[in-house]
Amino acid sequence: MAGLALEGPNPDVDVLDGVNGLAKDAPHWVNKAMEYIGEYGLIAALAVLCLVAWWSARRRPGAPSAVAGLVWAPLAAGIALLANIPIRAFVERPRPFKDHPGLAVLIPGKSDFSFVSDHATLTMAVGVGLFVAHRKYGLIGIGLALAEGFCRVYMGVHYPTDVIGGFALGTAVALLLAPLAQALLVPLMTAIAGSKLAWLVRAPGVEGADGDGSPPEGSRVVAAGSGMQPGHKERDKDLAA
């Protein structure tokens, strides 16, 4: 199929020229930094963010459910990248520097198709996946994904619509498949929490729900010793509200 770029002026090319024009005027060291950040740095930052979120989730009540949500983020990215393979083969859009030789290309030699951007797809899938599991980390992840999209256009290797398409694909996979992923991952994480690999799911000494919504064992003992049935206090609070 023919590429998406049209002959003559169009907003996609105008934005590409404007953003990539920054690279033409930037010092060499700035472009080298952008090259590293856009190709590897932001993906590495997302990986570190996922590890920090996992470390925090292990210490929360209901750790298996929280960890399951975080595990889905990189899995969503992998599925989105697989979904992009037939999309690229169908669209067959050339890289922008092949049709616009005047661009400042920071990473020459890329010969695969342009639509949609793998980097934008991967980073946004991780960001949205994190957002589903934890709002704060998710917002940071989405911010990193947006920065990745800017870098890909700045580097002259993608049109803006390549990036937008990647954002849409990553978001769709992370959101639409999240319920199914949770249904499969929560029981798995709960099983791991009861095995010798429990530290992967719950930090040692942390008490909380066991992933099925039931309160921890200690709370049942307290409730029985106080002469109250479990959940009475919560129902009283709800009625008072």
Name which of 111, 109, 93 is nearest 166 in CA terms. Answer: 93
Give pLDDT tens digits for 184-226. Answer: 999 999 999 888 888 888 887 665 544 444 444 433 333 334 4
Domain count, the chain: 1
Let me know if residue 90 belongs to a domain. yes
Name which of 216, 217, 236 is nearest 228 in CA terms. Answer: 236
The answer to pTM > 0.85 is no
Let me know if residue 169 belongs to a domain. yes
Let me know if residue 72 belongs to a domain. yes
Let me know if residue 195 belongs to a domain. no
Let me know if residue 43 belongs to a domain. yes
Domain that holds residue 157: 11-184
Let me know if residue 166 belongs to a domain. yes
Let me know if residue 58 belongs to a domain. yes
* DSSP character string of 108-124: TT--S--SS-HHHHHHH
Radius of gyration in angstroms for the set of CA atoms belonging to the chain, rounded to a whole number: 23
Residue 9 is inside which H or E element, if any? none
Let me know if residue 152 belongs to a domain. yes
User: What pLDDT score does 170 carry?
Assistant: 97
